[in-house]
């Protein structure tokens, strides 16, 4: 088979579409013939040599895919050859075939089977943070940073579907689409102070849950934007790793800060999250309340072009790499 390899870490030009050995299904695994793979910022970090795959994971990039099961390993009962699926991966999606733990498979919901590749990583990340840990409920206010990203466009839709008031930061050009997806109010982070905007829009209440991709550079302002009892969920470090936290402000608000990652979790934890997504999120997709938001599809051989696009942040939603 062919896969995107990275012989030496570097820029997008480091990505090479090359022949590699076919994967074999181990116990409780299936082989998926990949139709499409989602491009995530974690892939860019891995390409640069900053985000190695967990032990035992494929060395190739790609944290989610859609495709068709072509082989089933020992112990797999729920899935069969020929089923259309999408999957959460620890790696290996940028390939023609990938071995997937059965617990990380999802049926293709009511959407285009190729576009289903845009869902697993964002659905699992957002649901596990915003709902499972952040306890977002109807009537709450959710602030989504990076609203135009794959994570952001999904979080806006999920928050709106759950009855929350959703605020989102993004470049101004992306605001109309984000409002179509369910954002009540959009904030141009380059021109507006999101703390003041959150306070203004909520009448001084603040955000009950904040989903943050920036990390250090937003930490202090995120705490300022939280409501009393608010929950800050940090899932990215685009703005740096280290910052000073005002514990006094956190104590006064009786608020909490959590930082999570998904890729390195044990298989059992990932399977539990996938089950939660299937039970609680997939019905919303089936009902048309959430849809995959795909900026564009590119052939797998043009992975370098896809990485440049994601690095520029000029896309809205997910960029997909397709096979065949």
Q: Any idea which of 48-57, 229-238, 293-302 has the lowest mean pLDDT? A: 48-57
> Nearest to residue 155, comparing CAs of 321, 286, 318?
318
Residue 234 belongs to what H/E stretch? strand 226-234
Average pLDDT over residues 251-270: 95
What percent of the chain is predicted at pLDDT more than 90? 98
Give pLDDT, residue 186: 98
Is pLDDT of 230 > 90? yes
Give pLDDT, residue 131: 98
Average pLDDT over residues 172-198: 97
pTM of this structure? 0.96
Give pLDDT, residue 90: 96
- 309: pLDDT confidence band, cut at 50, 70 and 90? very high
Average pLDDT over residues 269-278: 98
- 197: pLDDT confidence band, cut at 50, 70 and 90? very high
In tens, the pLDDT along 126-177 reads: 999 999 999 999 999 999 999 999 999 999 999 999 999 999 999 999 999 9
Give pLDDT, residue 56: 87
Give pLDDT, residue 222: 98
- Please provide the average confidence, as pLDDT, over all residues in the chain: 97
In 73-188, beta strands by DSSP E: 84-88, 97-101, 105-107, 141-144, 165-170, 185-188
For the chain, list the domains and their CATH numbers.
2-119+263-322 (3.90.180.10), 124-259 (3.40.50.720)
- 324: pLDDT confidence band, cut at 50, 70 and 90? confident
Average pLDDT over residues 261-277: 96
Give pLDDT, residue 97: 98
The conformation of residue 82, written as its DSSP 8-state character, comes to T
Give pLDDT, residue 86: 98
In tens, the pLDDT along 47-64 reads: 999 999 998 899 999 999
Give pLDDT, residue 180: 98
d(CA 53, CA 74): 25
Average pLDDT over residues 250-268: 95
Cβ–Cβ under 8 Å, residues 179 and 160 = no
Instruction: List the beta bridge partners of residue 321.
Output: 37, 298
d(CA 203, CA 275): 37
Give pLDDT, residue 308: 98
For the chain, counts of helices (H) and of strands (E) = 10, 15
């Amino acid at each position: 088979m062919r896969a995107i390899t990275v012989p030496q870490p570097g820029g997008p030009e480091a990505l090479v579409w090359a022949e590699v050995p076919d994967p074999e299904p181990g116990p409780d695994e299936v082989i998926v013939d990949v139709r499409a793979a989602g491009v995530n910022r974690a892939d860019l970090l891995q390409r640069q040599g900053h985000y190695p795959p967990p032990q035992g994971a494929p060395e190739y990039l790609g944290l989610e895919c859609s495709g068709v099961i072509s082989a089933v390993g020992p112990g797999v009962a729920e899935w069969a050859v020929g089923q259309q699926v999408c999957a959460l991966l620890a790696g290996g999606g940028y390939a023609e075939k990938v071995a997937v733990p059965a617990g990380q498979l999802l049926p293709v919901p009511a959407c285009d089977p190729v576009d289903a590749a845009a869902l697993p990583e964002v659905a699992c990340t957002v649901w596990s943070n915003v709902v499972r840990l952040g306890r977002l409920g109807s009537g709450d206010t959710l602030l989504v940073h990076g609203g135009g990203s794959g994570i952001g466009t999904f979080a806006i839709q999920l928050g709106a579907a759950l009855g929350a008031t959703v605020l989102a930061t993004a470049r101004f050009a992306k605001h109309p689409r984000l409002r179509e997806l369910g954002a009540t109010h959009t904030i141009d982070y380059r021109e507006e102070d999101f703390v003041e905007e959150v306070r203004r829009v909520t009448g001084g209440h603040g955000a009950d849950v904040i989903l943050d991709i920036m990390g250090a550079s937003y930490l202090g302002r995120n705490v300022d934007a939280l409501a009393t009892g608010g929950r800050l969920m940090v899932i990215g470090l685009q703005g740096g790793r280290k910052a000073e936290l005002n514990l006094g402000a956190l104590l006064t608000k009786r608020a909490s800060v959590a930082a999570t990652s998904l890729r390195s979790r044990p298989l059992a934890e990932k399977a539990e999250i996938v089950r939660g997504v299937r039970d609680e999120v997939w019905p919303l997709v089936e009902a048309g309340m959430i849809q995959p938001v795909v900026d564009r599809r590119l052939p797998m051989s043009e992975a370098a072009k896809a990485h440049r696009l994601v690095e520029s942040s000029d896309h809205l939603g997910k960029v997909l790499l397709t096979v065949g």
